[in-house]
Structure 1
């Protein structure tokens, strides 16, 4: 038996019972969903205020026209890449321990990728003109490239979540008789007449493999193109040929941290200790160490190369990072959000579920603020001096509406993941049964 699964002998009936029992809309879940819904409505009220009065309600201005909205967009795109790393790269390598985690990674990928597209709209003063990007967008524009790959990545991620889910949807259709009628009907429609025949499994595996291969270049493109939005300018701090791999390596760090946090939540709340074990956390911790090591290299490269050249604009940007106005956030992100957590995870006790989850929260928080450091300081250091403008334009501070709208994006991710986890098993039942039965034989 795979050593990452429980050593307890698990029967097919027990696996089904364990992994289907949480598909119910109990009172606790309804309260949780109601809390999220009310919170989202409050955030949407602030977005209504922004539509009503324009971007003037934010802290954005002529110099910092990209604030925490675009920082948040970059963060969401980054976090969504984890589905490709776990499901595709490790899955195609037949790394067996990722099987119970693949669907969780896809849930994270789908939720963050879907909301990332909406975040772009929040940064638009006239969201009604979004259609113009599709109708009149120029191929030369990196923004058009970004929208194209985001939409493609969302579509493939949804398919990659849905197609391997078909056997479990059919199981829900056949086993869950106490759920509401609308839910039973939904399972019947989504199961697509699944009967569990060998031919159906062959087709499902073939289509899944095609998607697993296809999503790798698309996933790399989505964050590489996002990095090109910055790198294809002459602004110091953005004008860098390493931004593509730099963004991708940082994305894997944020994504691994998000999956670890989600794993912990599902393990504790859904009582999945037999399927998401201590060994899974240990291995995810090791994976996090690996991607963090690559990301540390790019962070060093980001500072040391422009610092060595020390032309006027680069020197000012580096000084701002190391000892200027942004230095406190910079060192908190680098030390508190990356180096110290990286060193802690090297020790095995820190890779146990609770410590690793807490460290992952710190890493994920640091990853968000890192995107702020990428987006904002460069805009505050234009080639021409900031003069004859209001004093507040010399710095950037997000307003309450900005913070509320940004918070709303995280709430929407939680709603998507919470609802999906209550409609479908978060652990692939048919794969677990298949692996355990194979190891028995």
Structure 2
């Protein structure tokens, strides 16, 4: 935290910070309109595909008796993975008092909320009878890992929303009292309602700090549980490729990689679009690059462990699975994901130049794409090689390829996630104003005082 300034200097600096960090709220031009149009149109196409699926049944997908999980479950695991970054950046690093992560925490929560919301929606879209969703809650058995997954996803989404909203309350009050004339009146009414009568007293700030700390502590076990339980959906079977105790930490490590890459991409988009170079600094990208290198190294270790141990024993079913990945039908996807999603990014990001904003963002795009591909090859190859012999079925039952309906619904999931992030950025500051102002030496009394 910087030294305290004089009241006049503090007010001028606060006005500048408020003006800069509300740029995402007030900026509306043709590019913004086109971006909304683009996202909504592709999301609408995906919803139309889902309507066709509900009308005609899951037979319109490439899923059959053997590959009963397809692209939808790969999407689900991917979104659950991306959502875990909220746990790491806005909670774990916050509790460790790592200050460079503070300006990034709200971006991480935006990404987490969008990802975990879409993870839940994708599961509903994967159901042949979504009208029976309530049966999971009414008649669910605690012995079922599916019920565990539904529980932790719902809990994680709830805590993530609270962790996004509670630190936002002082900002909402600040915008209510000192917002610029460019902010639409309907948004000002929303801010007034959501500010809950915030006055900025010491007791209120103490309550916010206390609530944030409780939520940060709560989200640690829930965040670890969400991806660990997801891994148990796979590991609780005897199928080759999934029958391993390492799958829990393996999924968690991979989640940090995907989430960190997603946050870097969103940070860069905000930095360029809303001219926030003074807030998302090169320093933040450098640290995010170092963090990404670290989690990639951990994930690489689990990848080596995942394949080295079964390759050493080379049981019959494991041998078929590994040969299919290394030299078979999925070898191109497998090696591209490992090379461009792990090995090359690690080597490049060890150099400081590639931890600068643009190079790091390009690397993060490759890492994020590879993360999705990795989830696809976790799901599909194993299901294509069941233990029971495949006989007396059509040839297309033996192999899986996604249909246009699955591609449309997958596009919906990505467009809907981007739409949630966009709406959050257009409604609320992308960096916590009061925390940033406090770090710059502005007293809370100045932040909370009414506009003259």
Instruction: Give your verdict on TM over 0.5.
Output: yes
Q: What SS does structure 2 have at the residue aligned with 1:205?
A: helix
Residue matched to 1:227: 231
Residue matched to 1:348: 352
Instruction: Give the superposition deviation at 1:25.
Output: 5.8
Q: What SS does structure 2 have at the residue aligned with 1:62?
A: coil
1:145-195 CA distances to partner (integer Å, 9 max, x unpaired)?
000000000000000000001111111212334433332221111000011
Matches within 5 A, 1:331-410: 331-410=335-414
Residue matched to 1:212: 216
Distance 1:30 1:123 in 2: 31
Moved more, 32-41 or 400-409: 32-41
Residue matched to 1:133: 136
Q: What SS does structure 1 have at the residue aligned with 2:208?
A: helix
Does residue 79 in structure 1 map to residue 82 in structure 2?
Answer: yes
Structure 2 length normalisation: TM-score? Answer: 0.94
Q: What SS does structure 2 have at the residue aligned with 1:23?
A: helix
Distance 1:86 1:105 in 2: 6
Distance 1:14 1:185 in 2: 23
Residue matched to 1:203: 207
Residue matched to 1:417: 421
Residue matched to 2:446: none
Q: Identify unmatched segments of 5+ residues in structure 1.
A: 3-8
Does residue 146 in structure 1 map to residue 161 in structure 2?
Answer: no
Q: Which of 34, 38, 41 is the matching residue for 1:38?
A: 41
Instruction: Give the superposition deviation at 1:392.
Output: 1.1
Structure 1 length normalisation: TM-score? Answer: 0.96
1:225-275 CA distances to partner (integer Å, 9 max, x unpaired)?
000000001111111101100000000000000000000000000100111
1:380-414 CA distances to partner (integer Å, 9 max, x unpaired)?
11112222211112211101110010110010011
Does residue 322 in structure 1 map to residue 326 in structure 2?
Answer: yes
Matches within 5 A, 1:115-126: 115-126=118-129
Does residue 65 in structure 1 map to residue 68 in structure 2?
Answer: yes
Distance 2:208 2:410 in 1: 38
Q: Identify unmatched segments of 5+ residues in structure 2.
A: 3-9, 444-452
Residue matched to 2:102: 99
Does residue 50 in structure 1 map to residue 53 in structure 2?
Answer: yes
Distance 1:111 1:354 in 2: 24
1:259-311 CA distances to partner (integer Å, 9 max, x unpaired)?
00000000000100111101110000000000000000000011111111111
1:294-341 CA distances to partner (integer Å, 9 max, x unpaired)?
000000011111111111111111111111111111111111221111
Distance 1:174 1:40 in 2: 36
Does residue 264 in structure 1 map to residue 277 in structure 2?
Answer: no
Moved more, 13-22 or 418-427: 13-22
Distance 2:210 2:242 in 1: 41
Q: What SS does structure 2 have at the residue aligned with 1:52?
A: helix
Q: Which of 75, 89, 92 is the matching residue for 2:92?
A: 89
Moved more, 198-207 or 314-323: 314-323
Distance 2:24 2:221 in 1: 35
Say if 2:24 and 2:430, in contact at 8 Å, map to a contact too. Answer: no
Cα RMSD (Å) of the superposition? 1.4
Residue matched to 2:24: 22
